[in-house]
Structure formats: structure tokens, C-alpha cells
């Protein structure tokens, strides 16, 4: 896990509103327009129907409060702005409370394709459509509850389970592999690579294998073990 960041969190004002610049909104626009087309082609129905339901703006970075309003109506979840990097303890406590921690900054233009720490595009575009799905919302809530009870040395097991499902999981829909995870849905290159790439390693979901697989070298090394979730999660 990274412990430093080149980015600074944006502080919300007294009303919880974050004031983004016109340049920030332009980065959001330039990310979301091509990525919507990629997700139509590569992402699961779970992701696409969640994205439709949230009606995210193409022209400006959405405020956490407005996304929360739509998400809460669907599954009871809310989105809470946090600094770029937070501890496992805080992360699990927020999930247990059905609050998704969202880093408030947006990436620089030299990291448009992929960045290691989560930014607001990854959090809102990648994660919140999944949290509009009742099964994934409940799964994330349970991960948070278990994380709050786990010993610190056991957090790694939950982190791996989360990584190979909610972050980088694949799913089989109508006999075809589709992207499920937020880390795929929000990345221009990881998304087609994970679904269609010749050298991506796609494995059927096996809990023990997932728990045995470290996450540190994924995404940047391009030698990823992607876990395929079962049909039972598709609806």
C-alpha cells in the first residue's frame, strides 16, 4: 500500500460542498466521455445499470452529496469525502456504516490513464455504480463489519478479497467475460486489457486462491490474476 501521495485532498466548505476549478471539471469531462463508451462495451450489466441510475454529469465533477442522494435511495449507501490515503481501520469503519470513502482530488493530466491512488473519478465513476447494486452494497457492508472485528494482521485477507472482486473482479454474463471491478471500469487501458487482453490471466473465482494471491504487483506490472465471479452475482 502506498503511504505518500503527490495529491492533496480538497476540503469541503461548511455545507459539505467541494469547489473544483474549471480545469478539474475539464479533466472529469475528458475522462468520462471516452470511458462511458468503453464501459458500454466491456462492463457488466451490474455496473452499467448502476451508472445509468446515478445520472452523473459529463461536464463537472459531481458533489458527494448529490451522488449520495441517489445511492441512498437505491441501497442506503452514502459517499464521504476523505484524504487521498486512509488507514484500514477508517476504511473498514466507513464501509461498516454504509459510507463509501471518496478521495476528493482529481488526477493530473499526465496520469489520465491510470494512477495508483484513488481519485474522485475512480471513486465516483468506478465505485458508486456498483454500490447501487443491492448484492454488492451488502457485500461491501459485510467486508466493513468483518474488517472492524478483525485483528490488524488479518486485514490483508479482506483486502485481497475486496481487491479481486470489487476492485478488479470479472464476471461471466451470458457466457461472456465482463468487467465488474471499479479499478477496471475507471481505467482506459486496464478495462479492455482485463476483458480481451491476450496475456491477462483470468481465473475462476476460488476463495483460497484469492486469499493466497498478493495484490502488490497488480495493475502496474500487467501480470494480473483476475478472479471471475460466478453467475450468482449477475442480475
- Choice between 26 and 80, CB closer to Fe ion: 80
Answer yes or no: 217 catalytic: no
Complete DSSP assignment for 113-181: S--SS--HIIIIIIIHHHHTSHHHHHHHHHHHHHHHHS-GGGHHHHHHHHIIIIIT-EEEETTEEEE-S
Beta carbon of residue 78, minimum distance to Fe ion (angstroms, whole number): 16
d(CA 14, CA 82): 15
* Choices 65-73, 99-107, 111-119, 138-146; region in contact with Fe ion by CB under 5 A: 111-119
Indicate if 111 belongs to the active site.
no
Residue span 116-145 as binding mask against Fe ion, x where in contact by CB under 5 A, dash where not: --x---------------------------
Among the options 68, 122, 173, 187, which is catalytic?
A: 122
Per-residue binder mask for Fe ion (CB under 5 A), 141-180, x = binder: ----------------------------------------
Contact present, 31 and 125 (Cβ < 8 Å)? yes
Active site residue 122: yes
Closest distance to Fe ion from the beta carbon of 9 (Å): 16
Nearest residue to 2 via CA among 126, 92, 123, 85: 85
Residue 26 or 160: which CB sits closer to Fe ion?
Answer: 160
**CB-nearer residue toward Fe ion: 43 or 182:** 182
**Whole-angstrom distance, CA of residue 92 vs CA of residue 120:** 19
Our CB check for Fe ion shows the closer of 62 and 118 to be: 118
209 is catalytic: no
Whichever of 181 and 200 has its CB closer to Fe ion, that residue is 181
Q: Nearest CA to 105 among 83, 125, 127?
A: 83
3-class SS of residue 223:
coil
- Sequence-separated (6 or more) residues with CB below 8 Å from residue 122: 103, 115, 182, 183, 186
**C-beta of 89: minimal distance to Fe ion in Å?**
17
Report helix, strand and coil shares of the chain as percent, to nearest 5. 50, 10, 35
- From the list 186, 187, 219, 227, the catalytic residue is 186
Q: Identify residues 182-221 at the interface with Fe ion (CB under 5 A).
A: 182
Residues engaged in binding Fe ion (CB under 5 A): 118, 182
**Could you list the active site residues?**
122, 127, 167, 186
Amino acid at each position: 500500500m502506498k503511504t505518500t501521495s503527490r495529491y492533496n485532498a480538497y476540503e469541503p466548505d461548511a455545507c459539505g460542498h467541494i469547489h473544483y476549478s474549471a480545469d478539474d471539471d475539464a479533466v472529469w469531462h475528458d475522462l468520462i466521455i471516452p470511458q462511458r463508451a468503453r464501459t458500454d462495451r466491456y462492463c457488466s450489466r451490474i455496473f452499467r445499470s448502476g451508472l445509468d441510475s446515478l445520472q452523473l454529469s459529463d461536464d463537472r465533477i459531481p458533489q458527494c452529496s448529490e451522488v449520495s442522494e441517489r445511492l441512498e435511495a437505491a441501497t442506503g449507501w452514502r459517499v464521504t469525502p476523505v484524504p487521498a490515503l486512509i488507514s484500514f481501520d477508517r476504511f473498514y469503519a466507513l464501509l461498516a456504516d454504509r459510507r463509501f470513502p471518496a478521495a476528493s482530488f482529481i488526477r493530473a493530466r499526465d496520469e489520465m490513464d491510470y494512477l495508483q491512488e484513488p481519485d474522485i473519478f475512480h471513486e465516483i465513476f468506478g465505485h458508486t455504480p456498483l454500490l447501487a447494486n443491492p448484492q454488492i452494497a451488502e457485500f461491501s457492508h459485510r467486508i466493513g463489519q468483518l474488517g472492524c472485528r478483525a485483528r490488524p494482521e488479518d486485514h490483508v485477507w479482506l483486502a485481497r478479497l475486496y481487491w479481486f472482486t470489487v476492485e478488479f473482479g470479472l464476471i461471466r454474463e451470458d457466457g461472456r467475460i465482463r468487467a465488474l471491478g471499479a479499478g477496471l471500469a475507471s481505467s482506459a487501458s486496464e478495462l479492455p486489457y482485463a476483458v480481451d487482453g491476450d496475456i491477462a490471466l483470468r481465473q475462476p473465482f476460488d476463495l483460497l486462491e484469492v486469499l493466497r494471491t498478493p495484490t502488490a504487483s497488480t495493475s502496474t506490472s500487467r501480470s494480473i490474476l483476475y478472479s471471475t465471479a460466478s453467475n450468482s452475482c449477475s442480475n
